[in-house]
Structure 1
Amino acid sequence: MSYQLCMICVIINKKVLIMKKIAIIFFSLLLFFSFIKAENLIAKKKVFYINSYHSGLYWSDGIEKSIKETLLKSKIPIEFKRVEMNSKRNNNEPYKMKIAQKIKNQIENFKPDVIITSDDNAIKYVIEPYFKNSSIPIVFCGINGTIKKYKELPFNITGMEEVQLIPQLIDALKKYAKGNRIGSLDDDSFSAKAQSDFFEEQLKRKIYKKHARTIDEWKKYYVYLQNNTDILLLGNSGALINWDKNKENLEDFVKEETKIPTAAWDITVSKFVVLTFANNPEEQGRWAANAVLRILKGEDIKNIPIAINEKANIYINTTLSKKLNIVFPFELIDNAVLVK
């Protein structure tokens, strides 16, 4: 009798152990799926990024990389979606309006908590027409000059304007110039035209502006401005077809044809000009991403004022400087990168 009782006890104990194991597994799975569910609930912070241009462009790549790095370092789980307008290489109006409509539909489907835009066309073709009455917070960066040039902006917008250090460039070069006529040369994109108009406002004087549609036209304008102005401001002209493929040949052309002091604000053309004060795309991207994080943490966008860039990298072209007999002050050279 006692043996049978012992056997029953053993069986009961085994069943209890099995039930305990099942209970442990059950509660472990319950906790696991609860954790996954909680993570999914937290992860509903959505950020939609519109790149006005395209991957492979130095400026755009720098902005996007710094946006992603800054957001990734935060403790806020973020679902990040990005699109490219590709509007520097496709500069015609029908294309820009069509891609803007497509992006508008993507935004409505994605339902972001915040929208980030870089450069002008995203504001002009997507935000102004479709989101001027939206409640979605919008953070811009890379806007040439001032955001105030857009008249129908949403109320909940902030960002960093991109201001080139043109007055400082002119001050650094004017003593090497034979006169005070200033010219500018760039492609015929919307951003390039807005930029050159803003330069006139900055300097409070007329600029002799040329906007090329082809590389041959660019070369013709370059020669013309060398002979008819005293300082030339050179944009990156990235909208021109086959610009990158022809850059090496154009460098030789520039070295041959340059007669006056030349300046730029984009590192990609530092080999084309005497002096470059290059804006920093990472500064724009980091600022935009940090503003987004503040908004996602609950801060009112109205408490985040619009900012302007403050940083620049200096490049001196030693080949062109030598050709023009320009010797810069030591303090400028000491803070510059020398290129040939």
Structure 2
Amino acid sequence: MMRGILFWVALCCITMQSQADAVQPEKRCLLVNSYSPDYAWQRAVTKSIWLQLVGRCDIREFNLDAKRYPFPSQLAYQAEQAWSVIEQWQPDVVIACDDAASKYLVQPYLKGTDIPVVFCGVNNSGDAYGYPYPNATGMIEASPTDRLFDVVKQVNPDAKRGLAVVVDRLTDSIMAKVYRRLAEQRGLTVEVSVVQTMDELEATYQQAAEYDFLYFSNNAGIADWDDQTALNITRQYSSVLTFSAYRWMSPFVMLTIAHVPEEMGRYTGRTALRILEGESPRAIPVTTNKAIDIIINRPLLDLIGLELPPALKEQAMVIEY
């Protein structure tokens, strides 16, 4: 009898240990986000990363929260806190999402160390942060802005000037230069309007009547953003072609050609797994995102009576509300 009891006790201990091993992976993955979970782009990217890694490593997240702490001194302090987490927790791989994480954490603290890094969401190229490093690889974020400007010239060959709505933050300061360069390659000029409030957005939409198009890049960072107010502004003042490169902006612009955050998250998570399984970051080439979503907002287009190219419409999802 006693032997039977001891056998079952031993078996239970083994089973409990096996379950503990299953739910507590030995590897550690630290995900450092440039923003916070209330930003739609970050939510989509990090969710896709988690889907790849859950059960394969112990995951922790650190948010630099660049929208709440936009100044360089604030982001440097946030990155210092992230570095303290790295020193104490000793992750097997660090995942750095978007530009602030690369600029303020990876480049000053992790470049050339023994800690593997997978980055994503770095705009245009990794040159600004010295990528690639022997211990870092990842995915560059290429904006589909060039395709949007191509559409401008297709629907209006005489188009010359456009207005770009940006918020004063790191990504926008990087991308504004790109917008101008891509526009110039197509015989267009782009003027930048920095918008931080809904009143400023309304004024910019009114001003856009003097231009040939309006590029409403992103609403993230507009302090008093309100969906219904934005819809009212776009319906009342849309007088030229409006467009964006972010999916969640599609209710507020006529055309969206957007990069796909889930593509970036899947690739980043899978690359982290390859490193956890023993592959060197040096052996994994840096790549660039390729997938796009095309969304047409039919009611807004109808306000100005504009027809988009048939080939574009064949690939698009259409909002008909």
**TM-score, length-normalised on structure 1?**
0.84
- After superposing on structure 2, the runs of 4+ consecutive aligned residues of structure 1 that deviate more than 6 Å are none
Taking the aligned partners of 1:154 and 1:329, their CA distance within structure 2 comes to 42
Is residue 91 from structure 1 mapped to residue 70 from structure 2 by the alignment? Answer: yes
Letter in 2 for 1:325: G
Is residue 267 from structure 1 mapped to residue 250 from structure 2 by the alignment? Answer: no
Is residue 139 from structure 1 mapped to residue 133 from structure 2 by the alignment? Answer: no
Q: Secondary structure at the match of 1:282?
A: helix
- TM-superposed CA distance for 1:337, in Å, is 1.9
Alignment size in residue pairs:
316
Give yes or no for contact 1:226–1:232 (8 Å, CA) kept in 2. no
What does residue range 246-325 of structure 1 map to in structure 2 within 5 Å? 246-325=226-305
Q: Secondary structure at the match of 2:252?
A: coil
- TM-superposed CA distance for 1:200, in Å, is 3.2
Taking the aligned partners of 2:84 and 2:221, their CA distance within structure 1 comes to 26
Is residue 77 from structure 1 mapped to residue 56 from structure 2 by the alignment? Answer: yes
Q: 2:100 — aligned with what? A: 121
Letter in 2 for 1:47: C
Q: Deviations over 1:160-182 (max 9, x none)?
A: 11111112112223233342223
Give yes or no for contact 1:116–1:139 (8 Å, CA) kept in 2. yes
Q: Deviations over 1:234-279 (max 9, x none)?
A: 1113112122xx2211221122222221211112211222110121
- TM-superposed CA distance for 1:190, in Å, is 0.7
Taking the aligned partners of 2:314 and 2:77, their CA distance within structure 1 comes to 48
Is residue 334 from structure 1 mapped to residue 306 from structure 2 by the alignment? Answer: no
Is residue 24 from structure 1 mapped to residue 4 from structure 2 by the alignment? Answer: no
- TM-superposed CA distance for 1:30, in Å, is 6.6
Is residue 182 from structure 1 mapped to residue 182 from structure 2 by the alignment? Answer: no
Letter in 2 for 1:81: R
What does residue range 224-263 of structure 1 map to in structure 2 within 5 Å? 224-227=207-210, 229-243=211-225, 246-263=226-243
Q: Deviations over 1:137-192 (max 9, x none)?
A: 11111112111122487431111111111121122232333422233111111111
- TM-superposed CA distance for 1:199, in Å, is 2.9
Taking the aligned partners of 1:213 and 1:114, their CA distance within structure 2 comes to 36
Taking the aligned partners of 1:295 and 1:27, their CA distance within structure 2 comes to 36
- TM-superposed CA distance for 1:82, in Å, is 0.6
Give yes or no for contact 1:264–1:273 (8 Å, CA) kept in 2. yes
- TM-superposed CA distance for 1:324, in Å, is 1.7
Distance 1:248 1:89, change over 3 A: farther
Segments of structure 1 that go 5 or more residues without pairing to the other structure are 1-16
Q: 1:50 — aligned with what? A: 32
Distance 1:26 1:249, change over 3 A: closer
Question: Sequence identity of aligned pairs in percent?
Answer: 26
Letter in 2 for 1:111: Q
Distance 1:305 1:195, change over 3 A: same
Taking the aligned partners of 2:219 and 2:258, their CA distance within structure 1 comes to 15
Q: Secondary structure at the match of 1:207?
A: strand
Q: Secondary structure at the match of 1:69?
A: helix
Q: Secondary structure at the match of 2:201?
A: helix
Q: 1:221 — aligned with what? A: 204
Give yes or no for contact 1:91–1:239 (8 Å, CA) kept in 2. no
Distance 1:90 1:225, change over 3 A: farther
Give yes or no for contact 1:128–1:154 (8 Å, CA) kept in 2. no
Indicate the larger mover: 253-262 or 287-296. 253-262
Distance 1:152 1:69, change over 3 A: closer
Taking the aligned partners of 1:256 and 1:22, their CA distance within structure 2 comes to 78
Give yes or no for contact 2:35–2:42 (8 Å, CA) kept in 1. yes
Is residue 107 from structure 1 mapped to residue 89 from structure 2 by the alignment? Answer: no
- TM-superposed CA distance for 1:216, in Å, is 2.6
- TM-superposed CA distance for 1:22, in Å, is 5.8
Distance 1:303 1:152, change over 3 A: closer
**TM-score, length-normalised on structure 2?**
0.89
Q: Secondary structure at the match of 2:38?
A: coil
Letter in 1 for 2:137: T
Give yes or no for contact 2:205–2:233 (8 Å, CA) kept in 1. no
Letter in 2 for 1:104: W
Segments of structure 2 that go 5 or more residues without pairing to the other structure are none
